[in-house]
Each structure stands twice: as structure tokens, then as C-alpha cells.
Amino acid sequence: MGQTSTAAAAAQSTPESQLVLSHAIATVAKTVDEKILALPGSRDRLLPAIRHAIAYYERAINTIPGPIGVSAEAHPRKAALSAVFPTADDITAGLGRSIAVRNSINWFVENEHSRVFAIMGTRLRPGSSSAGLTDHTFRSLAASDHDSRECLCEAAFTGLINAFSSRLRERIREWRALHAGNQPQLGDGRSAVVAALPSAGPSQRQQEIFASHLDPNGNDLSAEDGLNALIEWLQAPEAQLRINTEAGQAAVMLDGNLTLPLLSSTDRRHWLVCLTEISLQEVLDAIGKTPAANRYILI
């Protein structure tokens, strides 16, 4: 992918966009190896790639439909609502069992917000039609639909940076073990640790980035190598989160007016998603009727 488009770059001049960018830069600063960020000019070199990743997530997340008003009482009367939730009880269960809902709801009570906006994820039962939606759960709770989308964007960017930092630490351990003579070598030049990466680990593209810039067989792993790897890593943000809106391939069309796109992230489960709007009282009632939370969407 290329760098940020002219329109997206222009959007960075607004105070709101500058705040998003500042948060992203702060995330990089507190997460990534300080030796990388201590390099002269590292911030200026990173900024285009950071903007590119943020712009990608914003575009993708803006394709999520909604907000859809969610209410167990209104379920029988609203076609869109009954299309998303097979029964009114699915609304109560989805809200009450969502870990993010329980972890966040006190803020809405304390700040006297009467409405809650959240990204809802659901899945199709194997072999089912759209009437078989199940495992409803919510995340990215916020006081407005815009803030809910921004919350998901921030989570995706943070996850992207955390994944890089974790992989960098792992690669440094590989390099030290290899050069200490404790790490067996494979025929293709990779360390055994690289070969043993779990399927939930870095994507093929991400592994190629590290192989290109941070070879464990090299004489050194320099901060400059790390910076180049991070810049390229940020230019592949879809490895952390992507949203497919093409009905018939991944997204599910529930009726003529509503299609749920498929959110793919580091979560092994892929979620059909939409943005929802719920009354605070509805959420509190659902929590009161549910003994424990056990559902989440991993980003």
C-alpha cells in the first residue's frame, strides 16, 4: 500500500485528528524500545507510517454500519433488531456476558450518561443461515458513535504496536541465544524459535519484515534496523485488523438494508459487526440478570 492519500493527510490538520495522532505517537513512545526512538530524526521518519496506519483503521472502521438502537422491549417491532438478535433474550445475554461492558459501565453511571454506544460482534452458527447469529458481545463502549469507532481504532493501533514490540523482544532473545551458541540452526537459516512460532503469531508479511530488517544470523541487531522494521510494520496495518464488507464472501446480508461486515483481527474468532446504541438502564438490567461475563472480542 502507498502512503496516506491527500485527503487523509489533509484531515490530519484538524484539532481532533491531531489529538488522535498525538495519542498514537504516545503509544509508540511508551511501548517501543527507547533506543529506536532515540535515533536522530526517528519521529519524522515514523510520522508518515503512523498516519498511514491510523488512516487505514479509520477508513475500515467507518464501514461498520450503525448505530442500531438495541432494546429487548423493542425487539419484536424492529426488523433490523430482530435480524441481528434472533430473540430478545440474546440482547440480555450479549450485554450481560460481555467483559468490556462490565469493565466500563461504571464510568457511564458516574458521568450520568443515559445512552451507551458500543461495537457489537456476533457469529454465525456453523451451517446456519443469517437466522443463526449467536455469541453476541460488545466492546469499545463510548458516549457517542464517533467515540466508539475511535476507541476501536485506538485499540487496533495499540495492538499493532504491542505486537511489534513483543516480536522485537523475541527476535532479540533469538539473536542472543544464537550468538551465544545455544540455539540450533535450521537449514533455511532461521532459528528454531522462529520455526516454532504459533499459528496465532505474526502474519507471513510481518515475519518477512523481521527477516528482512532483523536477521538473527547477522552480526548485530541495531536500533536503525529496528526503526526500519517498525516503519514497514506500520505500513501493513491490516495484519492487526481488517473489515470485509463484501456480501457473499465474508459479510452477511440480513435484509435489504443491513449487511454485517466481517471483522478479522488477532482473535481466532472472526466477528460480524455493527455499531449499537443502548440505554444505560438496559445495560444495567442485563448485568443484573447475568451471573458472570465470559465474552470478549480480542483486537
Concatenating the DSSP letter of every residue in 55-106 gives HHHHHHHTTS---EEE-TTTGGG-HHHHHH-SSHHHHHHHHHTBHHHHHHHH
What is the reported pLDDT for 178?
77
Contact 156, 238 (CB under 8 A): no
What are the residue ranges of helices labelled H in the chain? Answer: 6-11, 15-31, 34-37, 42-61, 79-84, 88-96, 99-110, 145-179, 192-195, 204-213, 223-234, 280-289
In whole numbers, what is the pLDDT of the chain averaged over residues? Answer: 83
Question: Grid coordinates representing 245?
Answer: 464488507
User: Which of residues 125 and 103 earns the better pLDDT score?
Assistant: 103
Examine the pLDDT at 149 and tell me if it is beyond 90.
Answer: yes
Contact 272, 124 (CB under 8 A): yes
Q: What is the pTM of this model?
A: 0.83
DSSP 222: -
Q: Among 37-41, 193-197, 230-234, 293-297, which stretch is predicted with the lowest mean pLDDT? A: 193-197
Tell me which amino acid residue 277 is. Answer: E
What is the reported pLDDT for 124?
85
Dump pLDDT digits (tens) for 225-234: 889 999 999 9
Tell me the Ramachandran region of residue 66: left when phi exceeds 0, alpha when psi lies from -120 to 50, beta otherwise: left
Question: Grid coordinates representing 296?
Answer: 470478549
Contact 245, 251 (CB under 8 A): yes
| Centroid of chain to Cα 125 | 23
User: Which of residues 3 and 218 earns the better pLDDT score?
Assistant: 218
119/65 Cα distance (integer angstroms) = 10
Q: Where do the structural domains in the chain lie, given as residue ranges?
A: 6-62+151-239, 68-147+243-289
Dump pLDDT digits (tens) for 207-261: 788 777 766 565 667 889 889 999 999 999 999 999 998 765 566 766 556 789 9
What is the reported pLDDT for 111?
97
Contact 262, 68 (CB under 8 A): no
Closest by alpha carbon to 159, among 182, 139, 184? 139
